[in-house]
Amino acid sequence: MNTQLFTKAYSLIKASNNILVVTHDHPDGDGLASACLMAEVLELAGKKYRLYCHDQAGYQLNFLPHLEKFNTHYGKFDFDLIIALDCGNVQRTKLDKEILSRRAGQRVLEIDHHPKIEDYADLEIRDPGAAATAEILYYFLKANKIPLNKNLANCVLTGILTDTANFLYPSTSPETINIASEMLAKGARLPQIMENTWRNKSIASMKTWGKAMTNLQINQKYNFAFTILKAEDTPAEVTEEELEGMSGFLSNLDKVNGLLLLRELPDGRIKGSLRTSKSNVNLTQLAQVLGGGGHARAAGFTIQGALKKTEKGWKIV
């Protein structure tokens, strides 16, 4: 990637005095790890900052440095720099009104590995070919000669592992493997990361996975698999982290073009997750039509409504 962009980003950080670091709603491992990595960078630089996410960070990732500093409120929006990490579009920050109407002098730095949807940042660093936003931040650290300590190494490896399903997704490149290997050499704790991000399923969450598999069907017209989870299928104690990877796992179904998982959320919305292993299928276009985004083989969207079963099948009402 362009080294000048990374050095420019770090110069912007060093010139700022009050910084807000934000990742997307319903945060995943990559979003949280990227934000925690940036918090470590800001700590080392002696900067005043605040970590923000619209939704509560999951306890499964409490081994990440600075995770306890996340807030679901930001206080007064008087930051001179907003750093948006792993946000496919500004709406996913849940600060779109504040960011788009920001006062003069407030800057926005966006670092992301999703395909571009809109312009909202003063400085954008984007690489859709990267396996994770944490992978891009690895190059940010290297370009600015920031020494890799154990905290930074843990964040980079956590972001990569969670966004590649432990190197199973096709976004994994030889460079991704090399970076992961370097993080282990720098002190990243692979057993701890695996224990918290993969072997973290409760009985309630395993039953939810089982319900999704029970509801699995195939649309013969498009040779596309789909499954439904009603709100009552997901007990309140099941966290987003415990459901992470469900759509990717289900997409391993043989001889289908892809998979759609529709899940009712407690707030009256429906979350859609799209996955495919086919190189000739682009899911991003479908997700964007529904107000979402993502990658060609892994995309998603969120819409208002509820799922209702009819004689002709499921419909959104």
Range 94-103, long-range pairs (CB < 8 A, 24+ positions)? 94/25, 94/54, 95/22, 95/52, 96/120, 102/77
pLDDT at 5: 97
Percent of the chain with pLDDT over 90: 69
Asked if residue 232 lies in contact with residue 246, where contact means CB atoms within 8 angstroms, the answer is no
Distances (CA, A) of 291 to 85, 168, 249, 284, 285: 19, 27, 24, 10, 10
pLDDT at 128: 92
Asked if residue 186 lies in contact with residue 155, where contact means CB atoms within 8 angstroms, the answer is no
**Residue 117: band (very low, low, confident or very high) from pLDDT cuts 50, 70, 90:** confident
Three-state SS sequence of 30-70: HHHHHHHHHHHHHHHCCCEEEEECCCCCCHHHCCCCCHHHE
Q: What is the mean pLDDT of residues 60-87?
A: 95
With 0-12 / 13-18 / 19 or more C-beta atoms within 10 angstroms meaning exposed / middle / buried, residue 250 is: buried
The pTM score is 0.83
Which residue has better confidence, 169 or 161?
161
Tokens standing for 239?
């966290």
Is 90 exceeded by the pLDDT of residue 166? no
Is 90 exceeded by the pLDDT of residue 246? no
Point out the least confidently predicted range of 154-163, 222-231, 245-254: 245-254
pLDDT at 106: 97
Domain range 3-197, CATH class: alpha beta
Asked if residue 152 lies in contact with residue 146, where contact means CB atoms within 8 angstroms, the answer is yes
Domain boundaries, the chain: 3-197, 203-316
pLDDT at 298: 86
Average pLDDT, the chain: 92
pLDDT at 91: 92
From CA 190, how far away is CA 75, in angstroms rounded?
A: 36
The structure tokens 């997307």 sit at: 24
Relative to beta strand 224-229, strand 217-219 is: antiparallel
With 0-12 / 13-18 / 19 or more C-beta atoms within 10 angstroms meaning exposed / middle / buried, residue 312 is: exposed
Is 80 exceeded by the pLDDT of residue 124? yes
- How many whole angstroms from its chain centre is CA 58? 13
Of 55, 44, 57, 50, nearest in space to 10 by CA: 44
Query: What number does CATH give the domain 203-316?
Result: 3.10.310.30
Which residue has better confidence, 157 or 243?
157
From CA 276, how far away is CA 284, in angstroms rounded?
A: 11
**Residue 245: band (very low, low, confident or very high) from pLDDT cuts 50, 70, 90:** confident
Which residue has better confidence, 88 or 119?
119
pLDDT at 169: 79
**Residue 145: band (very low, low, confident or very high) from pLDDT cuts 50, 70, 90:** very high
Tokens standing for 139?
């190059």
Asked if residue 151 lies in contact with residue 40, where contact means CB atoms within 8 angstroms, the answer is yes
The structure tokens 């096709």 sit at: 170
Is 90 exceeded by the pLDDT of residue 88? no
Is 90 exceeded by the pLDDT of residue 201? no
Is 80 exceeded by the pLDDT of residue 241? no
Of 158, 235, 250, 161, nearest in space to 202 by CA: 235
Distances (CA, A) of 183 to 150, 158, 233, 302: 8, 10, 38, 34
From CA 215, how far away is CA 226, in angstroms rounded?
A: 8
